[in-house]
Amino acid sequence: MSDKELYTQKFQARVDEWKAEVDKLRAKAVGADADAQLEMNDSLRDLEGKVAEISGKIEELKAAGEENWEHLKASAEASFQSLSSAISDKLPKFR
């Protein structure tokens, strides 16, 4: 398996974990009071947007040729880090 394939698999596995975490948070929001739900929904929309962004980057990486995937990798890593930071910032607020 190529480095590109391994890299995209690693990213995809982490994104799948985050999607599951967002789903859990969405379920928690349903049980919250109205004000908390509004705040949680805003945060969840932000996280879902970031998940969609990184998912798009992963698809770009998969489609990229071996010669230019390294360039796309840097962009994907930046999106990945942004999502990771957003999730780390928002998770404590939901607990």
Q: Which range of residues forms the domain containing residue 59?
A: 3-94
| Nearest-5° Cα angle at 88, 47 to 27 | 50
Domain count, the chain: 1
Buried b (16+ CB within 10 A) or exposed e, 25-61: beeebeeeeeeeeeebeebbeebeebbeebbebbeeb
Mean pLDDT, rounded, for 17-32: 85
Q: pTM surpassing 0.85?
A: no
Specify the pLDDT at position 9: 92
